[in-house]
Amino acid sequence: MKYTLKDRIKFVEQINSSNKTAVAIFSFPDLIVLEANKNYLNFLNNSYNKIDNIMGRKLESIVESYKESTLEKTFKNVIKDGKPYYVNEFNFKEEVYWDLSMVPVYVNGEIECVIQSCVDVTERVKNRNIMEKQERVIREQKQELESIIENISDALVIFDGNGDFSIVNKAARNYLFYSKVLNNVKEVCEQVECTDMYGNLISDESLPAERVLKGEKLSAYKIFMKINNKRINVELNGTPVYNKQGDFVAGILCFRDITEKVKSEEDLLIKTQYGLLNRMVENLDLPVITLSYPDLKITHINQKAYKFMSGLKPGIKSISSFKGKNYCDIITNFNKYMLLKHIKDIVNKKETSYLKYIRLVVDGEEVFVKKLYQPVLGLNGELAQVVVIFMDVTQEIEAKLKMEKTLKMHEQFLTNISHELKTPLNVIFSSAQLLELYLKNKSISENKEKIIKDTYFIRQNCYRLIKLIGNIIDLSKIESGFFKLNLSNENIVSVVEDIVQSVSEYVESKGLSIIFDTDIEEKIIACDPDKIERVILNLISNAIKFSDPGDEIYVNVVDKNETVEISVKDNGIGIDKNHLDAIFERFNQVDKSFTRNAEGSGIGLCLVKSIVELHDGKISAESKLGEGSTFKIELPLRVIENEKSVAENKCNSKIEMINIEFSDIYSM
């Protein structure tokens, strides 16, 4: 069967369709494109990357810079010799490299066409170039490293597991060998006498090289070496080197002569410490003083410390006046001998130390200060001076104390709330059990009075639960900003008087008297009457709780021009002055026992204060233990233009509010 040229072209395409080889077929000898696969087209410029754009065109017209190129020369050789030619890593364009083959195809002894195949070897070329560059860099770095090792001022030796030297740099040769060549660690040990910093002879097995051979690392290890009758102080660093299998392959020892350095350090020690001290005094934005030792007299003080100290001792007017003063005379609330012991402990442990904070009064204000003591040593290592740095930790301590107080109050509040919830629930549950018993025994009529009493207890304790839950919800609303006032223009005198009249019968039933008085008959202000009623009822309720039969409660309204003052006064048990500032705080109760005259969660007055402040008013309390208390509310004189429609209070609603607010007063 005879194969046509087209059959051969298909054959070539099938060969190359599954790999990355670029193939093109050209006529012979004029090199006109007969066929090209997709990979070949991708190598050409955009204008020639489609087969229709290159079919029938000469090779020289579709390949840039073809003239006088290696590609042209190779094709000419193929045409001339009629033999295949190969070009490795032909630089096709920019950074693209090909492995080329140009093969003539013979048909009946005549060349019919030329097949060009191209394999992209760009990555191979780039990788080889990178590797060659890296090898060159490594060689250069190796040479540099060898030069550095040879010429560094520190002596460096590297030895194998037998102790034989593989590298000995110039400094090491100068130290150890002089005119005699030593090849092994043991030979060096025989020539050099080594002692520790205290003059004790180091045994052969404890010598630095032997320790490295045993796998030990040495860091800043200081010894004395006696070489050729010359004694020097050296600092050594040593490390063993292991291969991946964990076998010892080399030991490295690096050492330097620090004889002059040690002398200089000893000479400059005190100067360095004082230099550091001076920089601290000048630059630190903290109070810093320097004390002599052991008499603890002030020798130096910075501006910040002067301001701090003058607050403790206002009579001392200058920095120079503080110098020479005894530290113990300035800061008196500590034990001098305990301080001296503490400083000695600092020196022995070679560390700084914080002492516990102390409380001081500076310029009349309470501050909490933490002190840091830093010893300054002399040439002989003895303590010469002490640096004291003061840190004001007032905010941190106050925040901590406030948090502790809040947590304690919160814990007490939860305890009280638990009690407040359990008590009415227990009463309701017990009364319900009795009613259930009467029903089972069919003895309702015989126990009518008890049932009425139990029903009263159930109602009263339901009111208590309503009040407690309502207060908690309202406080949460206030804190989250969802508590709203329904303001309207009201005669505040009538509002307060109506409340007093509404509760007078209840107050009298407790054996008390309530008296209302005012210096005006009418005062129109913008307020939420329901919320004001709630505030006044709470204050009257508190007055009832802590008053004895026969006592009197006074409710007064006073015109103060720009404000209206409403006061509720009783002559009951009063409040201790130590508790007076905290009565409006959340969770606070003056009487925290479960045996007090009345129940309460400790959030009533907090809610009262919040409602008053929502009216842009103020509330205050005056009290004396055993003589009674007075609560005063000041509301601003203002009116609003657009009043909200407020329904007239019904009698039943007011009675309901009174029952709720007075629900935690026991009926005796």
Give the CATH number of the domain where residue 450 resides.
1.10.287
| One domain, residues 638 and 569 | yes
314 alpha carbon, distance to own chain's centre = 40
What single DSSP character describes residue 511? T
CB-based burial of residue 11 (10 Å sphere; 0-12 exposed, 13-18 middle, 19+ buried)? exposed
The token duo for 158 is 């590297």
Contacts of 471 (CB under 8 A, 6+ apart): 601, 603, 604, 607
**40 has pLDDT over 70:** yes
The total number of structural domains in the chain stands at 5
Residue 248: closest CA among 145, 182, 161: 161
Average pLDDT over residues 595-604: 52
**376 has pLDDT over 80:** no
What single DSSP character describes residue 481? T
**Residue 544: how many CB atoms within 10 A of its CB?**
22
Average pLDDT over residues 457-464: 74
What CA–CA distance (Å, rounded) separates 385 from 367? 27
Lowest mean pLDDT among 333-337, 461-465, 474-478, 504-508: 333-337
| One domain, residues 31 and 172 | no
| One domain, residues 380 and 403 | no
pLDDT of residue 267: 53
Q: Which domain holds residue 203?
A: 152-263
Sheet with 513-518, side-by-side order of all strands: 513-518, 552-560, 563-570, 628-636, 618-624
Contacts of 375 (CB under 8 A, 6+ apart): 343, 346, 347, 383, 385, 386, 387
| One domain, residues 163 and 225 | yes
Buried b (16+ CB within 10 A) or exposed e, 168-182: bbebbeebbbeeeeb
**pLDDT band for position 368 (50/70/90)?**
confident
CATH code at position 656: 3.30.565.10
pLDDT of residue 471: 73
What CA–CA distance (Å, rounded) separates 294 from 427? 72
Task: Supply the mean pLDDT for the chain.
Answer: 80
Answer yes or no: is 356 within a domain: yes
pLDDT of residue 596: 43
596's enclosing H/E stretch is none
**pLDDT band for position 661 (50/70/90)?**
low
The pTM (predicted TM-score) of the whole model is 0.41
Average pLDDT over residues 584-604: 54
pLDDT in tens, 387-405: 888 888 888 888 888 888 7
| One domain, residues 536 and 657 | yes
pLDDT of residue 22: 87
Cis bond leading into 287, ω under 30°?
no
Contacts of 93 (CB under 8 A, 6+ apart): 64, 65
| One domain, residues 47 and 87 | yes
Contacts of 624 (CB under 8 A, 6+ apart): 574, 577
Q: Which residues pair with 366 in a beta bridge?
A: 361
Average pLDDT over residues 533-546: 89
Q: Which residues pair with 630 in a beta bridge?
A: 569, 622
pLDDT of residue 598: 47
Residue ending a domain, among 351, 367, 392, is 392
**pLDDT band for position 563 (50/70/90)?**
very high
Residue 118: closest CA among 38, 217, 233: 38
Residue 385: closest CA among 350, 343, 351: 343
Q: Which residues pair with 251 in a beta bridge?
A: 159, 240
pLDDT of residue 595: 36
The more confident residue out of 176 and 298 is 298
pLDDT of residue 667: 52
pLDDT in tens, 171-227: 888 877 654 667 888 888 877 888 887 678 888 888 898 899 999 999 988 888 887
Residue written as token pair 């935690």: 664
Average pLDDT over residues 116-133: 89
What CA–CA distance (Å, rounded) separates 643 from 303? 61
The answer to whether residues 356 and 343 touch, using CB atoms and an 8 Å cutoff, is no
pLDDT of residue 492: 94
| One domain, residues 488 and 623 | yes
| One domain, residues 495 and 597 | yes
| One domain, residues 654 and 535 | yes
Q: Which three-class secondary structure state does DSSP give residue 305?
A: helix
**599 has pLDDT over 50:** no
